[in-house]
Chain A
């Protein structure tokens, strides 16, 4: 498979570095090579700054004084103040929205990981009649755009008395994540050698014990990559709270920001601060877990 784990990558890079010393920049000897390399870095840094510019713009606008925002809202780092942040946190209710985002994201992420792991194991290793029908039904959820069924889902949720409840939104967030999750975990379970379960069976393990004690511990890295990915997805989810939490009592950061943009006079300063509060956890999580995020994306996309 094309999935690269950290250790595999190191193994792959080492011989390359040994075989081709001239190609690595540390050993680039000729001046022509050095100039070319420097040019490449200048180009890459320029492109990286373009890529990061919108994030820099959010941070800079959020951390300016209100007066300065009024004069020139988007000039970079012309003043420094935390007043936009405090305004957004208290008057803009972003502190509250942050709490709601956690209330929605944490349970739905845990549910996605647990349900996907259970189903992924079944679809990879427990053959029985009707299994492929069930699997195609789950995979269909990956192909059908959410907007196709979001409108009937609204009326259905109202009928179930789950509209505008945390439970309803959490269940929908979970159901939108399990298709990918099951697909993803199935790939991990499929890669484990068959000899493992045969040996366990000879040792007298029941099927339950094989799943819980032999197989489950071996997919920890996959499950945590799925967890990080799902957390980001659910944190960023916009439509589910917009449609199914219309009352505002459980409004998370994303729809909190949205209703902030709808007003007649848009306060750029607090809006920038609210945006910063929304993306800060994403950026921190991304920086801390970036290896897992990237490898999760790659294996999820490539293995399938």
Chain B
């Protein structure tokens, strides 16, 4: 716990603490003000004017950008893609991460190798991930189509990133590959705190693996489970890099999410104001969602610990 302002703290100490505190956070606050608060204010300003990036005195247009946004069918399409990304991009890594963590739980031999192998994708740069998965999805020479052919599933082979039907899921699969290692490592550390005596006792009572998982293991790792869910869900709102790198939102807007749509509106057609308004929408959706999830997680984790 941090030391609160207690009545026993002498005034001299409190003044000295205030002086030191202000000195220590001033450089950070300047940085945050200039490189975060100021551009956020400009973003809100841009959303009320018609700014093309050149005109120094853009015209005030009121809520025009907002009305345009809510009547733009591409916005709903992009939000739909964001929703698919949030649901599948959270559920799949959580499920795979949990299964891997349970498999690795009591493995002693080779444990370090497995952890490295599964965690490594998480630390690779997005651009390298995009390039190598582009090779795997390559319609002619790619490993995925070759593998399908060798399993007699050649009819399923397609140009994964080039086809509107498959592109979003192909990029999503790549993102799942890249993020699962992080979740696995966190689950492994949570499993280490699980009370093993309870599990042994339930084994003697004849509980099967599924029952042990559901009644003993999952409740004990619930706080961590919810924390990981929150992080991954909120990350789903702000997905941008990997789609930008792999498809740029194409083909034919098939992989557009709010981030890529905002970027393309601002920089490809020089509609800075509209692009900024689009970007503000996703912030308006994701920040309250993050706060809500965090509250929920705190409440549940307090219950979980019996506090």
Contacts and interface: CB of A to CB of B under 8 A. Distances in A.
B32 A178 contact: yes
B280 interface: yes
Interface string B133-152: 11110100111000000000
B107 A40 contact: yes
Contact of B21 (A126, A147, A148): A126
Contacts of A54: 121, 129, 132-133, 136, 177
Interface stretch (B59-67, B86-94, B162-170, B282-290): B282-290
A73 B279 CA distance: 39
B38 A156 contact: yes
B114 A143 contact: no
A58 B115 CA distance: 20
B28 A118 contact: yes
Contacts of A279: 124-125, 128
Name B's interface SS.
Answer: helix
A174 interface: yes
Interface residues on chain B, size class: 35 or more
B307 interface: no
A207 B283 contact: no
A294 B103 contact: no
A127 B4 contact: yes
A65 interface: no
A115 B267 CA distance: 33
B116 interface: yes
B276 A2 contact: no
A119 interface: yes
B69 interface: no
B133 to A, nearest CB: 7
B53 A155 contact: yes
Contacts, number: 295
B204 interface: no
B185 interface: yes
A36 to B, nearest CB: 11
A232 interface: yes
Contacts of A141: 32, 36
Contacts of A207: 13, 16-17, 19-20
Given A4-B189, A152-B39, A137 B240 contact: no
Contact of B20 (A137, A153, A156, A208): A208
B263 A175 contact: no
A19 B192 CA distance: 15
26 contacts: A2-B190, A2-B224, A4-B189, A4-B192, A25-B108, A25-B109, A43-B103, A44-B104, A51-B181, A116-B28, A126-B18, A148-B276, A148-B279, A151-B279, A171-B35, A207-B16, A238-B127, A238-B241, A238-B245, A258-B245, A261-B134, A275-B131, A275-B132, A278-B127, A297-B182, A298-B189
Q: Which 9 A-B residue pairs are closest in the complex by CB-CB distance?
A: A145-B238, A126-B21, A152-B42, A236-B125, A175-B35, A48-B117, A149-B39, A128-B18, A118-B24
Given A151-B46, A174-B31, 18 more contacts: A2-B190, A51-B117, A57-B143, A73-B135, A115-B27, A118-B24, A138-B32, A151-B266, A151-B272, A176-B35, A207-B13, A232-B123, A238-B245, A254-B127, A257-B127, A278-B127, A279-B124, A297-B182
